[in-house]
Chain A
Amino acid sequence: MSTSIAKKLLVHTYMLLFTMPIIGMIIWYFLSATLNGTTGQFTLENFNFVKEPIEYAGVVLPAIWPIVLNTLVYSILIVVIEVGIAVPTAYAFSRLDFTGKLAAMKFLFLMRSFPGITLIIATFFILVQMNLVNTYLGVILVAITGSLPGRVYIMKGFFDEVPWDLEWAAMVDGCSRFRALMKVLVPYVLPGIGAISVFSFLGAYGEWFLFKLFIFDDNMLTLAGYLSRLVTKENVILNYGLITAIGLFYTIPLVIFYIFTQKIFLKINMGGAKQV
């Protein structure tokens, strides 16, 4: 018995050792944002950015609320468009027969494992030719093309699970194919739609790279793009209090969102394990 306790102790020691930096990191975010850098006293002055435009590295930053609005508009647009395209595509791949379906599915699989980031230079050139640089439309089109293969793949898994009988029953009762999809199948795959909405939202909320590349107007940035500009502005971060305060302002809603949606993640993880 004592050897098993010693073993547990050993495991805990190692695990605590490995986990320490992460615990330290979490504590630091909160301390850095709420303590005064020089006196070490509790203060909320780092959060002044919610009330007034503030200055960082000698430049007055754009006000935060329009940026929050941009973030919400961009994220919701991405969710709506990705769901709107992924659901019919996954339905076709799961339920309909058409020439080239097998090839298309192989291509989808290849796209998922292809390092899409290597195409960004040519994508930039194409956006310039299409006059879509510095527009939301350009960012959205590039962003959804990168993430849609994954969404379609998850969604197809959900459609595959629905028994055919349901659709047949609906069509025998006089539904058209499309009506059967909307009235019978969609309610059945609602958890899948929920899951891909969550993934799309998280992806859009964290997107900073495409904003760095394709958006030159500071007033069009989202929170992630805004923070990435601040973090990379100088070689050294000049005011950690301010940056972590904005970071917390940006991250805490995300953590709350995670807590409420974690059940969906569990479902997907199990589904994924089954498919592999």
Chain B
Amino acid sequence: MTLAKKPYKKPLAKKMYPYFFIMPFALLVLVFFILPAIATIIMSFTDLNASMKINFVGFDNFKRIFTDYSMPQILWNTVLFAVITLVFSLFFGLFISIATQYFLKGKLTAVIYRVLWLIPSIIPAVVYVTFWKYLFDPTEGGLINKVLLLFQPDSDPISWFTKIAMAIVIIATIVSTTSGGMILLSAAISSIPEDLYKAAKVDGASEKSVITKIILPSLKWPLMYITISDLIGFVSSYFFILLLTNGGPMRDTTTLSLYAYQQAFNLKYYGYGAALSLLVVLISLILTLWLLRLFDFDEMIKPSRIED
């Protein structure tokens, strides 16, 4: 009687069994994610530099952020780069996915356009940037200068990378990130039932109202996801900038995250770099929360009242 009532107790070996499966992953995460996260916070309170000696300096690094004379320009660059790149890559992603999934649905040309747009994101970054370097090459060997020289044979080649460096970085990033949004948006549009379009046509709806009343409302989720992940990406990563201009000329294309990288790895101010990194994390966090609020996240995860 009492034996049957006794609840089953897992032996210790069985309890430990699952941990054995996640052990390698957990160890990696501990050493190369949690530890660096804690180290970043600690380092931001030290003046760690090339000598690799830890010396606590309190809030000096954070005070330095506010007094850094290049900070206004860097913050402005970050905003400019993130906002313009986001707006245009969202616009192109939307345009291409509506064009290929609604206007040219099922056509071979639609597939060709989409594959062509995928190519910039498939090509490795190191190869991709060579094209932009060639296009805007400051000598007469560059494509744009070559074309300009055809029209004005006696003019000097223009040094594009000193004049419009930020625009070049932004264009190159837009062309390569558009495809990510395009894939998600295309998938969302293709899942809209055909009957909806037909019903709209029967009711005499214009193409404009089909797009604004049927297609766009169904894209709220993917648009939110793309906006948040792209924005965090643009604020925190700097791969194209590093390859294209290395932040130059002067600091014209240096964004906040690249500035952190340069402070740490070029100037060896690891402490200050860590403090700047913390600022990047903070900005990403605030942006995410703000966007979730803007997109009415709570409203969106409420169950639908029509279906079921």
Interface residues, chain A, CB within 8 Å of chain B?
A: 7-8, 11-12, 14-15, 18-19, 21-23, 25-26, 28-29, 32, 37, 84-86, 88-89, 91-93, 96-98, 101, 104, 107, 111, 113-126, 128, 141-142, 144-145, 148, 152, 177, 205-206, 208-209, 213, 224, 227-228, 231-232, 235-237, 240, 243-244, 247, 250-251, 254-255, 258, 269-270, 273, 276
CB–CB B237/A119 < 8 A: no
Known: A19-B113, A96-B17. 5 other contacts (CB 8 A): A96-B21, A115-B236, A119-B40, A141-B28, A227-B126
CB–CB B103/A85 < 8 A: no
CB–CB B133/A236 < 8 A: yes
CB–CB A121/B25 < 8 A: no
Tell me, rounded to whole Å, the shortest Cβ–Cβ distance linking B183 to chain A: 7
Cross-chain contact of A250 among B36, B127, B187 (Cβ < 8 A) = B127
For B221, the chain A residues whose CB sits under 8 A away are 276
Interface residues, chain B, CB within 8 Å of chain A?
A: 15, 17-19, 21-22, 24-26, 28-29, 31-33, 35-37, 39-40, 43, 48, 52, 92, 95-96, 99-100, 103-104, 109, 113, 116-117, 119-120, 122-127, 129-131, 133-134, 137-139, 141, 143, 161, 175, 183-184, 187-188, 191, 207, 221-222, 225, 228-229, 232-233, 235-239, 242-243, 246, 257, 260-261, 264-265, 270, 273-274, 277-278, 280-281, 284, 288
Cross-chain contact of A18 among B95, B138, B238 (Cβ < 8 A) = B95
CA distance A15 to B103 in the complex (A): 11
For B39, the chain A residues whose CB sits under 8 A away are 122, 125-126
Chain B residue with Cβ nearest A149: B29
CB–CB A117/B257 < 8 A: yes
For A111, the chain B residues whose CB sits under 8 A away are 29, 33
CA distance A98 to B39 in the complex (A): 29
With A231-B243, A247-B127, A251-B127 in contact, do A14 and B18 touch (Cβ < 8 Å)?
no
CB–CB B175/A22 < 8 A: yes
The residue in B28, B35, B129, B273 that gathers the most chain A C-beta atoms within 10 A of its C-beta is B28
CB–CB B237/A117 < 8 A: yes
Cross-chain contact of B122 among A85, A91, A254 (Cβ < 8 A) = A254
CB–CB A237/B137 < 8 A: yes
CA distance A97 to B288 in the complex (A): 32
CB–CB A8/B265 < 8 A: no
For B257, the chain A residues whose CB sits under 8 A away are 117-118
CB–CB B103/A11 < 8 A: yes
With A121-B264, A126-B31 in contact, do A206 and B125 touch (Cβ < 8 Å)?
yes
CB–CB B235/A121 < 8 A: no
For B284, the chain A residues whose CB sits under 8 A away are 115
The residue in A25, A122, A208, A240 that gathers the most chain B C-beta atoms within 10 A of its C-beta is A122
CA distance A23 to B115 in the complex (A): 11
CB–CB A235/B130 < 8 A: no
- Residue pairs across A and B with Cβ atoms less than 8 A apart, 5 shown, are A22-B119, A28-B143, A85-B24, A232-B246, A240-B134
CA distance A22 to B92 in the complex (A): 14
CB–CB A29/B131 < 8 A: yes
CA distance A101 to B92 in the complex (A): 41
With A97-B18, A141-B32 in contact, do A122 and B130 touch (Cβ < 8 Å)?
no
With A19-B117, A240-B134 in contact, do A104 and B126 touch (Cβ < 8 Å)?
no
CA distance A18 to B120 in the complex (A): 13
For A122, the chain B residues whose CB sits under 8 A away are 35-37, 39-40, 43, 274, 277
CB–CB A240/B141 < 8 A: yes
For A120, the chain B residues whose CB sits under 8 A away are 261
CB–CB A121/B125 < 8 A: no
CB–CB A121/B273 < 8 A: yes
CB–CB A117/B236 < 8 A: yes
Tell me, rounded to whole Å, the shortest Cβ–Cβ distance linking A102 to chain B: 13
CA distance A97 to B37 in the complex (A): 28
CA distance A120 to B143 in the complex (A): 36
CA distance A123 to B34 in the complex (A): 10
Tell me, rounded to whole Å, the shortest Cβ–Cβ distance linking A36 to chain B: 13
Chain A residue with Cβ nearest B273: A121
For A224, the chain B residues whose CB sits under 8 A away are 124, 126
For A14, the chain B residues whose CB sits under 8 A away are 95, 99
For A270, the chain B residues whose CB sits under 8 A away are 187
CA distance A152 to B26 in the complex (A): 12
For B125, the chain A residues whose CB sits under 8 A away are 206, 208
